[in-house]
């Protein structure tokens, strides 16, 4: 019995050291990243917005982000947990496709970017692809009475090219730049 207790205490101490070292490495690593591992807060028109959490833009004058399985509630981050063979999920995606094509009638024959009709695993993805932004460009240009060329240039200026992974566009930053372009 005494041997078991001593072994358990030794193992506990070793694991505390190993886990402590791991947490120290992760914490130190986060401090060399942009924003030092903290949320990126954007103050705009007297309000605070988190750039790394998806926002719900409903107006046709704005670019829309990915749908959210949790209605953009950061406290309840989650996916829908419905697979691609789930009938209810497929109906929801088809409804999103139909709505997107109705909102963007000039894009009827174009391929719909997948992120505009499927929610991310967290339900809070703040980014869309270049294709997702360009798909919506004609609608936004028409709604704001701005030339398509200016909108496309704005999109190109907002493209982020990370070291790893595909290029992306933060929808909040894009929409703020769009508002600033109009003012």
The residues spanned by each domain of the chain are: 1-38, 39-182
In whole angstroms, give the CA distance from residue 61 to residue 154: 14
* Residue 145 confidence (pLDDT) above 90: yes
Q: What is the pLDDT of residue 77?
A: 78
**Of the segments 78-82, 129-133, 161-165, which one has the largest average pLDDT value?**
129-133
Task: List the beta strands (DSSP E) in 37-101.
Answer: 41-44, 47-50
Mean pLDDT (the chain) is: 89
Q: Is the pLDDT of residue 38 over 80?
A: no
Asked if 181 contacts 63 with a C-beta cutoff of 8 angstroms, the reply is no
* pLDDT for residue 37: 67
What are the φ and ψ backbone dihedral angles of 170, each rounded to 5 degrees?
-80, 120
For the ranges 47-56, 114-123, 126-135, the one whose mean pLDDT is highest: 126-135
Are the C-beta atoms of 57 and 65 separated by less than 8 Å?
A: yes
Cβ-in-10-Å burial (0-12, 13-18, 19+) of 169 comes to buried
Label residue 72 by pLDDT band (50, 70, 90): confident
Q: What is the pLDDT of residue 183?
A: 61
Report how far Cα 52 is from the mean position of its chain's Cα atoms: 7
């Amino acid at each position: 019995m005494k041997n078991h207790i001593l072994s358990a205490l030794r193992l506990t101490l070793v694991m505390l050291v190993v886990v402590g070292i791991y947490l120290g490495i992760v914490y130190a690593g986060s401090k060399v990243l942009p924003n030092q591992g903290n949320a990126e807060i954007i103050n705009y028109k007297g309000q605070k917005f988190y750039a790394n959490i998806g926002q719900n833009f409903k107006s046709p004058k704005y670019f829309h982000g990915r749908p959210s399985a949790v209605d953009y509630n950061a406290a309840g981050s989650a996916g829908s947990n419905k697979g691609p063979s789930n009938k209810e999920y497929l109906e929801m995606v088809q409804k999103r496709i139909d709505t997107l094509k109705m909102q963007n009638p000039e894009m009827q024959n174009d391929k719909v970017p997948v992120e505009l009709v499927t929610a991310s695993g967290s339900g809070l993805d703040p980014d869309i692809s270049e294709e997702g932004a360009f798909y919506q460009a004609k609608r936004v240009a028409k709604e704001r009475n701005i030339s398509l060329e200016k909108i496309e240039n704005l999109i190109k200026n907002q493209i982020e090219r990370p070291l790893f992974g595909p290029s992306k566009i933060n929808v909040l930053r894009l929409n703020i730049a769009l508002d600033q372009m109009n003012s």
